[in-house]
């Protein structure tokens, strides 16, 4: 009879190379998420981990098929962060976060064409102490909106006309609006035209197509959303601000709407006190699948540390990040950058085919790739920095009213 081979001993650091879920211990403080299936309780706080140097950015990417529990996790995680003094701003394309807004003492801000609420995306974009930064930020936002709507980048003449118009409307004491920008494009300033060695007629011709396209957001099918100053009293000191976009979810202009809503939100964060906030962008494919708006989103993503913000980007699958880009394309490079700017990845169950792609893009070990399609509802693979955890998300009695999205399916 052959003797059994001797047992093997190794540190958890070495053993993780073979089996990535062997963890040397808890991550740290923060709200309880659930239980590490190969350890004890699992807590997570992006600010705590960033402060301790265990991650280099606070942003979180959440992936998961429908029905796998990602929405329940996000809503309960935001609710638990409130107990730690955090606040939350949420882009809600499907109208699911109303209970969370009410938990924070407010109600959702519902955006709809012809409605009572208006947001001014140009309101406070950039630094108020640096007027030139305001101009640059507004030019980039408008160029992104036009690039998305026109399905092409602006030409040099068009971009120059936009810049001249933005400079003109930014010179006043009051925040500029989109209607004022349209007027400045159609009726440019003589001095602005002279500064680029043309006349008013030439500069007006250069800006006519951008002006007519932006006019759609002022007089066309998007009228009543972004065509004036922001409605008084929005956001304010609410602990949870929810922008409900469900009335426009099926609109082809959803990327424009989400980008404008996000711009207003980012401006409000810049203007507010130094409170740590979660910014949740649900159904983020609507922005990320459009090259022009994705470029703008990535630039704002990089402001998270300066603003004390942790962004939570929510998509169904990693392919949502790739848009339609081929290898080496601008779309793929953008997706790579967004992944690099999200050092925490929470992966709920995926189909086998998606698991393979997820593994390639997130650098998962073979063991992790094989596990992802078998994850039951409410269980996710967490990659935090270089560490992996299998976490069962736990709901308390107070969470169920917040996370229930199946009410319409029951009698």
- C-alpha–C-alpha distance, residues 240 and 250, integer Å: 25
308 or 346, higher pLDDT? 346
Q: Which of 2-11, 314-323, 350-359, 368-377 has the lowest mean pLDDT?
A: 2-11
- Band of residue 407 on the pLDDT scale cut at 50, 70, 90: very low
Residues 84-98 have a mean pLDDT of 89
Write out the H or E segment, with its range, that includes residue 62. strand 60-63
pLDDT for residue 43 is more than 50: yes
Tokens 């229930």 sit at which residue?
Answer: 404
What is the model's pLDDT at position 236?
A: 63
Residues 254-282 have a mean pLDDT of 76
What is the model's pLDDT at position 324?
A: 47
Strand partners for 63: 315, 347
What is the model's pLDDT at position 194?
A: 95
For residues 9-32, b (16+ Cβ closer than 10 Å) or e, as one string? eeeeeeebeeebbbbeeebeebbe
pLDDT tens across 362-374, in order? 888 899 999 999 9
Collapse the DSSP code of 183 into the 3-class scheme (helix H, G, I; strand E, B; otherwise coil) and give the result.
helix
CB count within 10 Å of CB 330 equals: 13
Residue 343 tokens, joined = 């050092």
- Phi, psi dihedral angles at 68 (to 5 degrees): -95, -5
What is the model's pLDDT at position 29?
A: 77
- C-alpha–C-alpha distance, residues 207 and 160, integer Å: 8
- C-alpha–C-alpha distance, residues 383 and 361, integer Å: 13
- C-alpha–C-alpha distance, residues 179 and 214, integer Å: 8
Q: What is the 3-state secondary structure (H, E, C) of 64-107?
A: CCCCCCHHHHHHHHHHHHHCCCCEEEEEECCCCCHHHHHHCCCC
Q: Which of 111-115, 126-130, 200-204, 236-240 has the lowest mean pLDDT?
A: 126-130
- 47 and 276 in contact (C-beta within 8 Å)? yes
pLDDT for residue 409 is more than 50: no
The most confident of the ranges 55-59, 303-307, 336-340 is: 55-59
- Band of residue 3 on the pLDDT scale cut at 50, 70, 90: very low
Closest by CA position to 390, among listed 56, 15, 13, 23: 23
Collapse the DSSP code of 281 into the 3-class scheme (helix H, G, I; strand E, B; otherwise coil) and give the result.
strand
Q: What distance, in Å, lies between the first and last C-alpha atoms of the chain?
A: 65
What is the model's pLDDT at position 292?
A: 63
Supply the DSSP symbol for 132: H
Q: What percent of the chain has pLDDT over 90?
A: 30
Residue 28 tokens, joined = 């740290």
- 243 and 96 in contact (C-beta within 8 Å)? no
Tokens 């396209």 sit at which residue?
Answer: 213
What is the model's pLDDT at position 271?
A: 56
pTM of the predicted structure, to 2 decimals: 0.79
pLDDT for residue 305 is more than 90: no
pLDDT for residue 12 is more than 60: no
Q: Which residues contact 2 (CB under 8 A, 6 or more apart)?
A: none
Q: What is the 3-state secondary structure (H, E, C) of 334-392?
A: HHHHHHHCCCEEEECCCCHHHHHHHHHHHCCCHHHHHHHHHCCCCEEEEEECCEEEEEE
């Amino acid at each position: 009879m052959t003797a059994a081979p001797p047992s093997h001993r190794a540190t958890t650091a070495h053993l993780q190379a073979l089996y990535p879920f062997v963890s040397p211990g808890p991550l740290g403080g923060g709200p309880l998420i659930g239980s590490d299936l190969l350890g004890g309780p699992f807590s997570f706080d992006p600010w705590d981990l960033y402060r301790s140097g265990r991650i280099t950015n606070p942003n979180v990417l959440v992936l998961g098929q429908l029905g796998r529990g990602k929405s329940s996790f996000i809503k309960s995680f935001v609710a638990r962060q409130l107990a730690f003094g955090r606040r939350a701003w949420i882009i809600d394309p499907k109208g699911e976060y109303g209970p969370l807004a009410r938990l924070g003492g407010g109600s959702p801000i519902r955006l709809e064409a012809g409605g009572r609420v208006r947001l001014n995306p140009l309101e406070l974009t950039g630094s108020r102490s640096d007027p030139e930064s305001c101009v640059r930020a507004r030019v980039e936002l408008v160029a992104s909106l036009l690039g998305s709507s026109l399905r092409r980048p602006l030409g040099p003449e068009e971009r120059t006309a936009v810049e001249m118009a933005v400079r003109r409307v930014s010179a006043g004491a009051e925040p500029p609006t989109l209607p004022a920008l349209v007027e400045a494009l159609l009726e440019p300033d003589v001095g602005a035209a002279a500064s680029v060695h043309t006349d008013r007629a030439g500069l007006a011709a250069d800006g006519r197509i951008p002006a007519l396209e932006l006019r759609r957001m002022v007089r066309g099918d998007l009228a009543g959303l972004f065509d004036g100053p922001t409605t008084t009293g929005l956001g304010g000191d609410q602990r949870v601000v929810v922008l409900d976009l469900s009335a426009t979810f099926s609109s082809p202009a959803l990327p424009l709407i989400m980008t404008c809503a996000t711009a207003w939100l980012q401006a409000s964060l810049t203007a507010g006190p130094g409170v740590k906030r979660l910014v949740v962008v649900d159904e983020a494919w609507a922005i990320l699948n459009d090259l022009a708006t994705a470029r703008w989103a990535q630039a704002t993503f990089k402001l998270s540390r300066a603003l004390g913000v942790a962004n939570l980007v929510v998509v169904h699958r990693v392919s949502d990040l790739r848009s339609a880009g081929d290898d080496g394309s601008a779309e793929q490079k953008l997706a790579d950058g967004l992944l690099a700017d999200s050092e925490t990845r929470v992966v709920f169950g995926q189909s086998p085919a998606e698991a393979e792609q997820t593994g390639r893009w997130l650098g998962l070990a073979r063991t992790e790739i094989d596990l992802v399609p078998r994850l039951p509802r409410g269980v996710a693979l967490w990659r935090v920095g270089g560490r992996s955890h299998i976490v069962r998300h736990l709901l308390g009695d107070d969470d169920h009213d917040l996370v229930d999205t199946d009410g319409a399916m029951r009698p």
